Chains A and B, each alone.
Chain A
Amino acid sequence: MTPDEINRFREKMTDLYRRANDFCARHPEADRNVLIQSWRMRDQTPLQKVEFALLRGKTLKSKNTGKC
């Protein structure tokens, strides 16, 4: 990875964790690791969608395959 790519990765992850921390502060029942895994695996899924699904207690579905 180039230094620019490393910086972008660092910034992306900082933003991701900051938003996940904010979410978990509002929803103590949420598992931050699961939230972040969902985010990373689903590649850019808006956090609001994750939040919406968690609040409704639904299993998240992959955008690409439709499989759980």
Chain B
Amino acid sequence: MLTEKEILFLKELNVKNIPFLIVGMMAAVLQDVPLTTQDIDLWFENTDDPRLNEAAQRCGGVFLPVNLMFQIPPLLGGDDFQNLDVVYGIQGLNSFQDEYENALTIELAGVPVKVLPLERIIASKMATGRKKDKAVLPLLNTVLLDKKSGGKDGA
């Protein structure tokens, strides 16, 4: 799934104490939702932080901040950076700080990462309202209910 350089990048973020959250479907997969997804969506508190590019370059990649002229969101690039996406502006959520304080800590490829809880993923997908988001809501809600009831099915 993740390349070695991508894993190294996540470690670098922790070393540099750069706060980030894993959101989107990978956040759900990490909480036992039985779906597949390829991309890992990263939400940063401040995408203008120069340490992001330092961390990326240390791992052989590059971090480009938002380009307002061409409406280009922040981007991670490099040959071995194919699975990490930077999200810019998430609907249905509170401030980064609020969500970060209530995030779960889960290990991803041996790296402890902060992950948006299932309830908040659902809130985000409901607010976004795209067809592909609506389509997964029943499954997300089912897993959430199962977890709250003790997870007898081992979802």
- Chain A residues within CB distance 8 Å of chain B: 1, 5-6, 9-10, 13-14, 17-18, 21, 31, 34, 37, 41
Contact = CB atoms under 8 A, between A and B. Distances in A.
Contacts of A1: 57, 60-62, 77-78
Contacts of A14: 67, 70, 72
25 contacts: A1-B60, A1-B77, A5-B62, A6-B77, A9-B62, A9-B64, A9-B78, A10-B64, A13-B64, A13-B75, A13-B77, A14-B67, A14-B70, A14-B72, A17-B67, A17-B70, A17-B71, A17-B72, A18-B70, A21-B70, A21-B71, A31-B130, A34-B132, A37-B39, A41-B38
Between B60, B61, B77, B78, the greatest number of chain A beta carbons within 10 A of the residue's beta carbon is seen for: B77
Contacts of B64: 9-10, 13
Interface string B120-132: 0000000000101
Given A6-B77, A31-B130, 8 more contacts: A1-B57, A1-B78, A5-B62, A9-B62, A13-B64, A13-B72, A17-B71, A17-B72
Nearest to B38: A41
Contacts of B130: 31
Interface residues of B, number: 16
Contacts, number: 32
Nearest to B130: A31
Contacts of A31: 130
Interface of B: 38-39, 57, 60-62, 64, 67, 70-72, 75, 77-78, 130, 132
Q: Which 8 A-B pairs have the closest CB atoms?
A: A9-B77, A17-B72, A6-B62, A17-B70, A1-B62, A14-B70, A1-B78, A18-B70
B127 to A, nearest CB: 15
A1 B79 CA distance: 9
